Structure 1
Amino acid sequence: MDEDRTARDRALRGAHRRPRYRRRLRIAAWSAAGVVVVGVGAAAGVAYWQLDGNLKSVDINAQLGTDRPSAATDGSQNILVLGSDSRSGSNHAMAGGVTDGTARSDTAMVVHIDRDHSAASVVSIPRDTLVNRPACTGTDGHSPEPAAAGVMFNSAYQTGGAVCAVKTAESMTGLRMNHYVEVDFSGFAKLIDDIGGVTVTTTKQIDDPDSKLRLPAGTHRLNGTQALAFVRTRHSVGDGSDLGRIELQHQMVAAIAKQAGASSLLSDPGKLYSLANDATRSVTTDSDLGSVASLVSFGESVKGISASKLTMVTMPTQPAVSDPNRLEANPVLAKQLWGALKQDRPVPESVVRNEPANPVTG
């Protein structure tokens, strides 16, 4: 009897202890889960803060004021994208050519996003196009720079940085630039490496001692350094002018869009963070895009624009009357181009047909 009672007492005590033990386990488990969640949230917050801290921005709206073309009201947007040839920092080793301590807009594109954000037109502006540059403020943000007639488009950036480049682009096109994005040499190369390289095809050999690019005819997978040389080469392409280089840049834009859409970055948090870190270190934007949240929001709004939805053209030009070694806008076709984009219409066929034949890809 005593042994039976003792066994029952032990069983009862065990029954009372089990719920309490299980409850403690649950509390411990939820506490551990809470620590993990908080830890992940904190890490994400630190990463977000770091990415935000990488970004550089320019308050273009405040500096330009109201003396600008009216912004579109139909939802379409225009973005001035510049590739800077600054020789500072890690760009110095990648710049090549003559280094004089200044920076110019080595590449200039006006990207027009249609009202539905389902398609885009990418218009390249040859850097040696002669334009009438409006009065600007110098790169120090204070010194006045008088208006100048018949100067190369890329001198605007050298004269007054991003603000002067935007002001000159708006004056020339009649379009309001909603945003500004500048990418530097080293940043571009890193971004190409981050997405796993890009594939391009050439029907002619490229051998440019300035850009140090040597490619036989055929299809090539380019790493970041090679891709940078590809978009900068011109001396062994076509007639050696900037128009030939622009054709290579158009092919690169399409290749990047195709590769980014096919890559597995979104499923690899490490690679995605590396891309985001390099991207935010490499770009300068207008202040409206100067945060990770703004960039993500903007990216979400245009994520439906695939490579097949990009129309890429060069602003129609002709040899300049004042200097046959320079270009000037074709007055008729350029007006048609900018007028169509202002009304959010497709680029006219007359403008597309004016495009020079691709000297490399045929």
Structure 2
Amino acid sequence: MTSDTTATTTPSEDRAGDDRLGDDPGTARPSGPAGPSRPPHSRARRIRRGLAWTAAGVVLVAAGGGWWAYRHLSGNIDSVDLDQAIGTDNRPAKVVANARNVLVLGSDSRAGANGELDHGDVSGARSDTAMLVHIPEGRARATAVSIPRDTLITRPECRNGAGKTVPEAQRVMFNSVYTLAGPACVVKTVEQMSGIRVDHFVEVDFAGFKGLVDALGGVTVTLDRPMTGTKGGLKLDAGTHRLNGTDSLKFVRTRYGYGDGSDLGRIGLQQQFMLAMLAEIKKQDAFGNPARLYKLADAGTKSLTTDKDLASLAALSDFAQSLKGVDPGTMETIMLPVAYDKVDRNRVVVAQPQASLLWEALRTDQKIPALAKDSPAKG
């Protein structure tokens, strides 16, 4: 005789059945006797949770390190508000919206780390190098115009860094403007000379220049004649040389012992070195290598002064990225056309009509006519 029976489960069996359902409802856990030990899936969850917290910690540390690096590099940069220093009513109008004009200054300041470098017997600070770099609207081919530091110019009325008014003066040397009134007055002087709106300015002093070259591992230059090292300058044979930061600084400052020994002759060396340095940066793909980029930025920003709009690592990086299409091999280097002064043959004056033709071509983003490149005083 048979009888119908109803299957029943005990409370412990119910718990075992519940435990067989893990995080994934479609996955059953192996059944087993109930006990105080945690199921294997619970341990796996703890491991995953630990790994997640570890990964989050690494991300936070990396982010914190990146933020520290950003603040550190941006903190290296000094800046000047050009509109405030010059006055918006005293500046030329912008003609070609997407073209850029950058005034690059190399100063021989003796402050800070610069005091450890050899400056000869000269005190104070001057604009040792001045180049107006024009970057056309298409960002394809740039032009750098060097302004001889011995050029006699009319200095406009300016306010110096302390807010004191420096009066207008005629027939003063171009590099004295920086000494008396600072970089904003140099910008104002160049704008009044050229009629060109200077969008940005970048000033690097001796220590920053030296550090930048060393961070690159040196720069390669080629000489077609020996450099004799006269008056404490650099001594090099004709041919190709790899220069470290110290020798590079001597190279761009060499006046005597190469060419005619004039300041005009030195401009050729400075332009040659600038192109060699840009080629080295491009060759090393510095902007595509984060470690090398940080090293360069740390070296370069330690002694850097810019206008307010470039005074952060992000702004400098964005501007640098916009210039990646500029090929140093096609960059044109020109000296502002000058003639020897009739009163003092050791000084030069702006040559006309050449200079006006040059400035107008740059201002309107046009091809520079051949006459505009013909300087009566050549060096």
TM-score when normalising by structure 1: 0.91
CA contact (8 A) 1:210 1:233 kept: no
Taking the aligned partners of 2:170 and 2:253, their CA distance within structure 1 comes to: 27
- Change in CA separation of 1:266 and 1:138 when aligned onto 2, cut-off 3 Å: closer
Q: SS state of the match for residue 236, structure 1? A: coil
- Which position in structure 2 is the counterpart of 1:20? 42
What corresponds to 1:81 in structure 2?
A: 104
What secondary structure does 1:200 align onto? strand
Q: Is the 8 A contact 1:234 1:245 kept in 2?
A: yes
Paired letter, 1:271: R
> Which segment drifts farther, 117-126 or 9-18?
9-18
Q: CA–CA distance in 2 between the matches of 1:54 and 1:174?
A: 32
1:352 is displaced (CA, Å) by: 3.3
- What is the match of residue 223 of structure 2? 202
Structure 1 residues 164, 12: CA separation in 2 closer, same or farther (over 3 Å shift)? same
Greater Rg by CA: 2
1:262 aligns with 2:277: no
Asked if 1:192 is matched to 2:213, the reply is: yes
8 Å contact kept, 1:97–1:210: no
> What is the match of residue 247 of structure 2?
226
Q: Is the 8 A contact 1:314 1:355 kept in 2?
A: no
SS state at 2:132 partner:
strand
Contact 2:255/2:262, CA 8 A, preserved across alignment? yes
Aligned partner of 2:156 in structure 1 is 134
Offset from partner CA, 1:15-58 (integer Å, 9 cap, x none): 98222222222111111111101110011011111111111001
Q: 1:337 corresponds to which letter in structure 2? A: L
Residue 355 of structure 1 and its aligned partner are, at CA, apart by 8.5
Query: SS at 1:331's partner residue?
Result: coil
Query: How far, CA to CA, are the matches of 1:11 and 1:238 in structure 2?
Result: 97
How far has the Cα of 1:300 moved from its partner? 1.5
> Are 1:41 and 2:63 an aligned pair?
yes
Matched with 1:247 is: 268
- 1:145 paired with 2:166, answer yes
Q: How many pairs are equivalent?
A: 349
1:338 to 1:128, Cα distance in 2 relative to 1, 3 A: same
Q: Deviations over 1:93-125 (max 9, x none)?
A: 32423223x211000000111012222110000
Verify the 8 A CA contact 1:87 1:99 in the aligned structure 2.
Answer: no
The structural deviation recorded for 1:264 is 5.2
Contact kept? 1:113, 1:119, Cα under 8 Å: yes
Distance in 1 (CA, whole Å) between partners of 2:31 and 2:180 is 92
Question: 2:238 matched to 1:217?
Answer: yes
Deviation for aligned residue 1:211: 4.9
2:139·2:322 contact (CA, 8 Å) conserved in 1?
yes
Amino acid at match of 2:191: E
- Name the % identity: 42
In structure 1, C-alpha distance between the alignment counterparts of 2:138 and 2:214, rounded to whole Å: 31
Question: Normalized per residue, which structure has more helix?
Answer: 1
CA offsets per residue over residues 143-185 of structure 1, 9 Å max, x none?
Answer: 2211111111111111100111111111111111111111000
1:322 to 343, 363, 369: 343
Letter of the aligned partner of 1:76 in structure 2?
A
**Structure 2: runs of 5 or more not aligned:** 1-29
Give matches, 1:49-60, under 5 Å: 49-60=71-82
Q: What secondary structure does 1:303 align onto?
A: coil
Residue 233 of structure 2 contacts residue 256 of structure 2 at CA under 8 Å; is this kept in 1? Answer: no
TM-score (norm 2): 0.87
Structure 1, unaligned runs of 5 or more? 1-7
RMSD: 2.2
Q: Quick one: distance in 2 between partners of 1:344 and 1:334?
A: 15
Q: Tell me which residue corresponds to 2:178.
A: 157
Superposition deviation, residue 269 in structure 1 = 3.9
Deviation at 1:92, TM superposition (A): 2.4
